[in-house]
Structure 1
Amino acid sequence: MSDRHIDLEVGLGSAGSTGWSRILQQEGLRHRGEDVQSAPVVVLEDELPDWTEDYVSAGGVAVVSGAPSGAGLLPDSIEGVIGGFERPDAPRLCTAPTLARLFSGQGKGVCRLHERRVRKNGMDPGRFPLILRRRVGRGWLLFTGVPLTRLLMAHGDTLRRFSPHSDVTERVSSIDKAEVADTLVWLLRTAFAAAGLPYVRPVRFPHGAASVLIFRIDVDGAYGDRCAALAKVASAHGVPLSIFVNRQLCEEHPGTLPPHGDGGTDGGTVRHEIGQHGSTHNLFDTVADNLANLRAGAAWVEERTGVVARSFVAPRGMWNPALGQALAEMGYRYSSDFGLDFDSLPFRVPGSGILQIPVHPYSPERAVEHAREHGSPPVTPAAVAAHYLAVVQQQVAANRPTHVYGHPEVLGAMADQVLPTVFADVRRRGLRTMTLAQMTDWWELREGAGMRARVQAGTGTLLVDYDAERLPVEVDGADGLDVMVAGARRRVPVGERSVLLPADGGISAAARPPS
Structure 2
Amino acid sequence: MSEVHAARPAALPFLLWKTPPGLELILAQEGAAFEVVHDPHPFAFRGGRFVLFDGRRESPATLRLLLTSGHVAIDVDAFRKGEPVDPFDALVDDRPMRATWDVGGYTLRERVARRPKAAIRERIINRLRDEVLARDGVWMRLAPFPHPFRSAFNLRVDLDEPVAEDYFRFALARNLLDDCTTHFVSTAAYQAEREVLADLAGRDAQSHGHYHYVYRDPEANLRNLERADLILRDRGFEVEGFAAPHGRWNASLDDAMEALGYSYSSDFQLGYDDLPFFPWKDGRFSKVLQVPVHPICEGLFLDAGAADGRCVADHLAAVVAEKADAGEPAFVYGHPERRLGRMPEIPLALAATLDRRPLVWRTTLTEMARWWRWRASRKWLAIARGPGRVKVQFDDWDADYPLALEVQRGDFRSLIPLSGPRTILDLSALAYERRPTPARRVARPPEPDRRPASWRQLVRQAIDWETVTPVDEIPDATLAGRVKKGLRRWKLQRTGTS
In the aligned structure 2, how far is the partner of 1:510 from the partner of 1:163?
A: 48
Aligned 8 A contact 2:275 2:292 in 1 = yes
Identify the match of residue 151 of structure 2 among 188, 204, 211: 211
Tell me the equivalent position of 1:345: 275
How big is the shift at 1:411?
3.3
Choose 430-439 or 219-228, whichever is displaced more. 219-228
Mark the CA change 1:49 to 1:397 in structure 2 (over 3 Å): closer, same or farther. farther
Tell me the equivalent position of 1:298: 229
Identify the match of residue 56 of structure 2 among 39, 47, 55: 47
Mark the CA change 1:495 to 1:57 in structure 2 (over 3 Å): closer, same or farther. farther
Within the alignment, does 1:509 sit opposite 2:425 as a pair? yes
Tell me the equivalent position of 1:91: none
Mark the CA change 1:260 to 1:348 in structure 2 (over 3 Å): closer, same or farther. farther
Tell me the equivalent position of 1:445: 374
Structure 2 counterpart SS, 1:168: strand
Tell me the equivalent position of 1:80: none
Tell me the equivalent position of 2:346: 418
Structure 1 counterpart SS, 2:196: coil
How big is the shift at 1:386?
1.0
Instruction: Report the residue type matching 1:313 in the other structure.
Output: A
In the aligned structure 1, how far is the partner of 2:109 from the partner of 2:241?
A: 27
In the aligned structure 1, how far is the partner of 2:421 from the partner of 2:340?
A: 50
In the aligned structure 2, how far is the partner of 1:343 from the partner of 1:330?
A: 26
Q: What does 1:5-24 correspond to in 2, within 5 Å?
A: 6-15=10-19, 17-24=20-27
**Structure with bigger RCO (C-alpha 8 Å, 6+ apart):** 2
Aligned 8 A contact 1:29 1:451 in 2 = no
Instruction: Report the residue type matching 1:336 in the other structure.
Output: S
In the aligned structure 1, how far is the partner of 2:351 from the partner of 2:258?
A: 34
Tell me the equivalent position of 2:415: 499
| Unpaired segments ≥5 residues, structure 2 | 38-43, 429-498
Identify the match of residue 409 of structure 1 among 337, 346, 354: 337
Write the deviation string for residues 183-207 of structure 1: whole angstroms up to 9, x where unpaired: 1221222122111222111110011
Aligned 8 A contact 2:8 2:71 in 1 = no
Write the deviation string for residues 384-432 of structure 1: whole angstroms up to 9, x where unpaired: 1111112113322443211110001243334432212211211311112
Identify the match of residue 207 of structure 2 among 270, 273, 276: 276
Structure 2 counterpart SS, 1:331: coil
Instruction: Report the residue type matching 2:166 in the other structure.
Output: R
Aligned 8 A contact 2:9 2:46 in 1 = no
In the aligned structure 2, how far is the partner of 1:261 from the partner of 1:12?
A: 45
Aligned length: 406
How big is the shift at 1:146?
4.1
Identity within the alignment, % = 25
Tell me the equivalent position of 1:147: 86
Within the alignment, does 1:332 sit opposite 2:262 as a pair? yes
Write the deviation string for residues 431-486 of structure 1: whole angstroms up to 9, x where unpaired: 12111110011112211222322222x33311212222362100013xxxxxxxxx
Mark the CA change 1:445 to 1:423 in structure 2 (over 3 Å): closer, same or farther. same
Aligned 8 A contact 1:224 1:255 in 2 = no
Tell me the equivalent position of 1:472: 404
Aligned 8 A contact 2:11 2:137 in 1 = no
Instruction: Report the residue type matching 1:31 in the other structure.
Output: F
In the aligned structure 2, how far is the partner of 1:345 from the partner of 1:167?
A: 26
Structure 2 counterpart SS, 1:6: coil
In the aligned structure 1, how far is the partner of 2:68 from the partner of 2:108?
A: 47
How big is the shift at 1:59?
6.9
Within the alignment, does 1:387 sit opposite 2:315 as a pair? yes
> Which of the pair is proportionally richer in helix?
2
In the aligned structure 2, how far is the partner of 1:38 from the partner of 1:212?
A: 34
Identify the match of residue 181 of structure 1 among 121, 124, 135: 121
In the aligned structure 2, how far is the partner of 1:349 from the partner of 1:222?
A: 32
Structure 1 counterpart SS, 2:299: helix
Instruction: Report the residue type matching 1:28 in the other structure.
Output: G
